[in-house]
Amino acid sequence: LYLSLNCRILSQLSAGLSLDDRTNYYTYEIRSLADSLFDDAMRYGLRANMNWRLPSQWSGFVNGGLRKREIDSQNTYSYAAGLQKANLSALHLYMNINASGFVNYYSDGYYGSLQLGRSFRNGHDLSLEYGNYTYALRQGGGTRTNQWLRLNGSLQLVKGLYVTEQYEY
């Protein structure tokens, strides 16, 4: 079950509420512990969000969530925020800064990323992104931190048809 309600409060401000009770099925081949922890915490349950557009081509969002399952002894709380800027310089760069986190009985995690990119004519795009996530398993599992650097690109072949690439270190 997935329900979502979004409402434009003002021309620059919108808010929403969603309920997500869908299930992802992971196999041993595609399951990454950190990815599944973040996916579970940041998507499932009840979430509220707010998005705004500011002058000078700034925009941002905040959201928070709550998940309570019968098998959990405590709720899972999650949160996220982001800030975007278009036409950052004379080069027409864009910038995205995102942060998120979750806390529950079993683990807690934090995620942050910074992306700088440029959109070109005809739908082409190139960006560089740095990201980091850290999570800790509370039951003696220790802490793990992953960092990455990504080069993303897209090339529009014809209207609506793209070729994308991503290189990650």
* Residue 134 tokens, joined: 């850290």
Q: What is the pLDDT of residue 40?
A: 59
Q: Over 60: is that where the pLDDT of 149 sits?
A: yes
The 10 Å Cβ neighbour count of residue 20 is: 17
Which pLDDT tens digit goes with each residue over 10-65? 999 999 999 988 776 666 665 555 555 555 555 678 999 999 999 889 999 999 99
d(CA 133, CA 34): 8
How does DSSP assign 60-129, residue by residue? Answer: EEEEEEEE--TT-SS-EEEEEEEEEESS-STT-EEEEEEEEEEE-SSEEEEEEEEEEEEE-GGG-EEEEE
Averaged pLDDT, 106-131: 92
Averaged pLDDT, 106-121: 91
d(CA 95, CA 43): 24
Which residues contact residue 166 at a Cβ distance below 8 angstroms, ignoring those fewer than 6 apart? 150, 151, 152, 153
At 73 the three-state DSSP class reads coil
Q: What is the pLDDT of residue 31?
A: 56
Q: What is the pLDDT of residue 65?
A: 92
Main-chain dihedrals φ then ψ at residue 131, nearest 5 degrees: -140, 160
Which pLDDT tens digit goes with each residue over 52-101? 999 889 999 999 999 877 766 788 899 999 999 998 888 889 999 999 99
d(CA 21, CA 98): 25
User: What is the pTM assigned to this prediction?
Assistant: 0.76
